[in-house]
Structure formats: structure tokens, C-alpha cells
Structure 1
């Protein structure tokens, strides 16, 4: 089985403006709030875990298909089980300590620690399938969605739409109630203040006025799934064409295996979730029914993806030191906790690697 097919199809399945003057979309004052009703559990999620962060208090927040979980070091709490049945893809703590949760189909949930506020297309969000969330240097919150991106300044949404091979600011107040093509998988602001948008189509660089297609050897970087800037200012891109590093003038390719997520730890090591074999098949034309059939054949013993660490001290070498940590059918988000452990999401929940041992926090492990 070629698991690049599965990864592509999985993301397709689960991901299902005005910006000037009078054209911006103002949020209604009466947006409904839902009071928090937490549910404490003995375990973390049992299903796909897409994103993991740690807040300023040391709590681990987990975005999964079963909801948003908080782990305080002792127990797990499903924060959203009484609020929404949506599958969650992304989570962010903003500079004020508030939490933002991106869902598939139900828009964005804002959580101040006491209650929730739900933003959707009716409030000006470009699309209700939210795969990524990012806070810029000015405190604006960006949402990567199907069809483009939305920027929230605390009062209004300002939208940016992908139109084929181009991306532009929208000034008409347009939103997408259904799912258009070309979602934004990842957003960052680099040290120079430019924004990078990794999409299913082209990768775009935005200087605040113009979107430019990012290219290598006159070819656009396409289908980038994850993009980060490291401590040195290098840009890392991962997708079906492998793992790439761009230092502002030179491109370096570290692997041609499919890379789904990139993370830099405190020591400057680069962690990735990637294919283990060399299969580069990409099946964006496969149907959702095909995906369901393929996933039904998944086995817990199937090892198609790997959590990999690239040693930061050897990254300047042609052959850096690379360590494969563990194999899973699929690996998603990665986080380094404040105690140095590496957390990562998988098809069957969340795991923690302490440098020697890997611990699972799903229901199966809790019952042992």
C-alpha cells in the first residue's frame, strides 16, 4: 500500500473581506456564547490528533477528532465535548492567554477560560474548515482555511482568497459556505515581516501589499503541508517533494520522502513526521469512498510513517545526523514540552517521547 495516497486522501476528507473601509466585515455584537462544561477523562483522545501546543501555565492542549483536550500533567479534560461535536484541527494560545480552536465545518471557537464564542462565515470568516491558526507580531489572528485565509484584528475579519495560481486580498466581503479548492495548510510571519502561506496549490509570500509565488529553479513550491522559520532565519518547507531549507539564497533538500509536519526544538534540532519508505505516489484525484476503504484496512502494526530528528549541529553538513524515533501509520503535529519531552499526534491519539521511552495516552493504554 502506498501511504502517501492515504495521507493525501485523509487531509482531503477531514478538511471539508473585505479589507478596506466600508467593505470590512464587522462582527455582530450579539454573537452567542456557550458556557464551558468540562469533562475530565482518564485518557487522551483515541482518534486522529492533528495539533499540540503548551500554554504559559504548562498545560498541554490537543486538537483531535474527538475534541480539544487539556492535559495538566495529571489528568485530561475534554474542553469541547459539551460545546461542539466537530473535529478539531488546530489550536493556538494568543498573547493574552486566550485559546483559539479551529474545526472542520464549524469554524473557529474562541475560549477565554470560562466561555466559548463561535465564529463562522456568518461573522465574516472566509470558510468554516479551519486547518491552521497563527498570531502575527501585531496580535492579529490568522486562520488558514479552504479557499484562502482570514485575518482577525479583534473586531473584524479581513479575507485573502486563492484564485487558481494567485492569491489576493478580497474587498467584496465574499465568503465560502461550501468548500472551494486550495486550502491554506500553514502560515508564518518571518523575521523581516513577510508572511508565508503554504497551500495545496502554490506557496505564497506576502509583503503586506502583494502576494508572490515562491519558486525554486523557476518552478513553484506546490502542496507544501508545513512551513516554519528556524532560529537562524532559515525557512523550512515540507510536503510530497520532501524536506527543504531556504536560507535566503540557497535551497537544500534533506529528504525526498513526503514530509507532513516540521518543528524546531530549543536546541535547534529539526523534527519531522514523514514517510518511511520512498513511495512518492500522490493521489489527489482519488475519491472519498476510496479513502474510507483504505483506512478501514489500517492496522496498528502498520509502520508507514516515522518521527525523525535532524541534529541541529550537523545541519550545515551534506549528510546531517538523522535519527528515526518511532513508526506509526501516520504522524501529525509535534511539540517540545517545557521539560524537553517531545509530544506528537497520530491516528490513534497522542504520544510523548522522553528521550528513551514513548508513552501513549489513549484509552487502550489507560485500561492497562
Structure 2
């Protein structure tokens, strides 16, 4: 009888241990899954705005903020770099990669390269000797500071090249660089606040009021430029919208499309309780072409606009955001269109609307 009781007790203990063991395995599995989800759902911590987006040759994403430095995302982990780590400045203007896999980060006060986990600084000296454009080489162009020229890197030195100014200009006009784009013929198009410049390897051409076919009262204040796959040059202005240069023809695109609309007054939290914003296509800070050849414009006030070759469609990224301003539009290697918001965060276009991606 005692033997039977001991046997029953032993079976009970074994069953209980087995059940606990199974429960532990189940709990462990749940923990692992939750941990993976946490990594996947972890989000970009920047709140000051995303001014630059770039995906490198390894598939890693780089995000440049308005005043919080730069972040690298390898698909699992977000790594942040600031002036404490060697950045020249915490405001990031652009990010690119050279043929050797070195990442180049342009800040508001100089350039950093990133390679092998190390940041190297390159100071852009505006008072350095003024070089002739045709005595320098290199395909890396940097704007790092709001002066009257551009930096060209030859692999060793950062060479500062001064722009030839248009005739009859206000001496106080700024020629700080706001955008760079290279066309199919390797001509470099350089947007500045006061003019557009192009460089074909031999000559620098200047596009001011006359060459852009603007009225006398239409003030140039260029914030973006794009050389698209068809050879057209799109020029985004803050105030007068988009100018389109196609071959020898130049048109005021926003005006012809009827999108230069008088600014409207809105309620706001300002001292007088009101502010004015445009509702048309006239303050364009970023331009990008998608995989289907559509051209996208980011307006400071009115969200983003898609041009399919015939008509314009206006989108709101996220109504919950304090600002719809987009600092950067970027087409990644998966042909996904990404939008860097001034309110922080990166959104992707899903074909109809926008989802927060980072």
C-alpha cells in the first residue's frame, strides 16, 4: 500500500515538474517574441525635425536632425552621434556615400566623414585661397555654411569655390547653398538663396531673374533643386513656388498650374492669435522623383504635392502633427518614398496615404 502511494506521489511530482517546465518554455518564448517586437517597433528619438535621409550601400539608414545630430539604423538598433562624439555641428544638412563606402555628413559648420566607426572632421574655411573651378577635381560637393561658394572634395583637400555672381544684384544677397543635384550628363546644379548655378566640368552658368523668366517683383529665394530622369530641372522657391527648366524652355510652373494662391490667415498660438500660411505650391523646400516618374514637392505650409505629368494632387502627411512641413523627401533602395518631417519622424507613402516608418 505504501509502495502504491509513493508511486502515485512520484508520478504527481513528475507531472507537475513537466508542466512547470512547459510553462517556463512558453513564457520564455513569449519574452523573446516581445523583445523582437520591441526592437522592430523602436522608433527614431529625434524631435527637432528630420532634415536629411540616406540609405547606404549596406542598406543602413542615416537620419540627420535639425539640431540633435545624426542617427544610424541598421535594421535593429538606432545609434546616435552628436558634437560630443565629434560632429562639427548638430544640425545636419545632407548625407551621402562615396565609392569607397565612406559616409559624408554635412553639418551647418563643417563636414564629417564616417568610416569604421570613426568620425573625421573637415573644416570648411571660407577665407581659404580662392581656387579656379577647373583646377579642382572630385565628385563630392558639400554645402556647409551660408556664404557665397561651395566646397568640392578631391579626396584629400576640401576646396572652396566662389560663385560668379549675376549682374546688378543686391550686395547683401546671400549665395548660401540650399540644394545640389546632378543630371544625366553629370552636370551639377547648385541652388542658392539668390540664384541657380550649373557646372559642366568646364563652365559655370548663372541663372538669375532674366534666365528664369521671372517678373521684377518675383523674388528669388531658392530652397531646392532636382534634375529628374527626363533631363528637366525643377527649382523650388520659398515664396514664388516652382520654376521648371526643360531644355531651352523655362516656365513658372506654380503660376501656370494656378497654385500661386494669396496667403490665408489662420488662428494660431502667436501673440496676436493669427498667422498667415500659403495653401498653394509656393514654399518648396524639397523635391524628389519616385519610381514611376512622378515628381513630389514638399511645401512648408501645405503638405506634399504629387505631379503625374498632367495634374497636381495635394496630400496631408498626418493631421495629428503640429506641422505638415517636410524637410526632405528620399527614395530608398526598395523604391519606397520617405518623408522627413519638421515635427520629427519619418513617414512612408503606401500608395494612397502615409504611415509612420521611423
How does the TM-score come out when normalised to structure 2? Answer: 0.65
Say which of 108, 112, 117 aligns to 1:109: 112
Say which of 232, 248, 251 aligns to 1:234: 232
- Aligned residues of 2:102 and 2:114 also touching (Cα < 8 A): yes
Q: Which residue of 2 aligns with 1:157?
A: 158
Q: Which residue of 2 aligns with 1:217?
A: 213
List gaps (5 residues or longer) in structure 2. Answer: 1-41, 131-136, 261-281
- Aligned residues of 1:261 and 1:334 also touching (Cα < 8 A): yes
Higher relative contact order (CA closer than 8 Å, sequence separation 6+):
1
Residue aligned with 1:62, SS: strand
Determine the C-alpha separation between the residues in 1 that align with 2:140 and 2:302: 31
**C-alpha displacement of 1:126:** 8.9
**C-alpha displacement of 1:101:** 0.7
Q: Which residue of 2 aligns with 1:29?
A: none
Determine the C-alpha separation between the residues in 1 that align with 2:129 and 2:141: 11
Structure 1 residue 140 corresponds to structure 2 residue 136? no
Structure 1 residue 351 corresponds to structure 2 residue 349? no
- Aligned residues of 2:126 and 2:160 also touching (Cα < 8 A): no
Kindly report the root-mean-square deviation, in angstroms, between the aligned alpha carbons of the 2 structures: 3.0
Residue aligned with 2:96, SS: strand
Say which of 92, 97, 101 aligns to 1:93: 97
Q: Which residue of 1 aligns with 2:76?
A: 74
| Pair 219,248 (structure 1): closer, same or farther in 2 beyond 3 Å | farther
**C-alpha displacement of 1:237:** 0.8
Structure 1 residue 49 corresponds to structure 2 residue 50? yes
- Aligned residues of 1:236 and 1:246 also touching (Cα < 8 A): yes
Residue aligned with 2:85, SS: coil
Cα displacement string for residues 123-158 of structure 1 (whole angstroms, at most 9, x for unaligned residues): 98799xxxxxxxxxx752111242210111102233
**C-alpha displacement of 1:180:** 9.5
Say which of 313, 316, 321 aligns to 1:322: 313
| Pair 310,201 (structure 1): closer, same or farther in 2 beyond 3 Å | same
Cα displacement string for residues 331-368 of structure 1 (whole angstroms, at most 9, x for unaligned residues): 1111123334322222232222241442164xxxxxxx
**C-alpha displacement of 1:190:** 2.4
- Aligned residues of 2:212 and 2:243 also touching (Cα < 8 A): no
Q: Which residue of 2 aligns with 1:119?
A: 122
- Aligned residues of 1:236 and 1:243 also touching (Cα < 8 A): yes
**C-alpha displacement of 1:329:** 4.2
Determine the C-alpha separation between the residues in 2 that align with 1:44 and 1:342: 21
Cα displacement string for residues 86-112 of structure 1 (whole angstroms, at most 9, x for unaligned residues): 22221111222110111122x100111
Determine the C-alpha separation between the residues in 2 that align with 1:350 and 1:125: 38
| Pair 185,125 (structure 1): closer, same or farther in 2 beyond 3 Å | farther
How does the TM-score come out when normalised to structure 1? Answer: 0.64
**C-alpha displacement of 1:322:** 1.7
Determine the C-alpha separation between the residues in 2 that align with 1:123 and 1:155: 17
Determine the C-alpha separation between the residues in 2 that align with 1:180 and 1:245: 23
Determine the C-alpha separation between the residues in 2 that align with 1:211 and 1:354: 37
| Equivalenced residues, count | 264
Q: Which residue of 2 aligns with 1:14?
A: none
Residue aligned with 2:285, SS: strand
Determine the C-alpha separation between the residues in 1 that align with 2:139 and 2:74: 28
Which sits farther off after the overlay, 145-154 or 191-200?
Answer: 191-200
| Pair 272,217 (structure 1): closer, same or farther in 2 beyond 3 Å | closer
Determine the C-alpha separation between the residues in 2 that align with 1:180 and 1:120: 24
Structure 1 residue 310 corresponds to structure 2 residue 307? yes
Cα displacement string for residues 53-85 of structure 1 (whole angstroms, at most 9, x for unaligned residues): 111121111111211111223332113453336
- Aligned residues of 2:138 and 2:153 also touching (Cα < 8 A): no
List gaps (5 residues or longer) in structure 1. Answer: 1-40, 128-137, 167-178, 276-303, 362-368
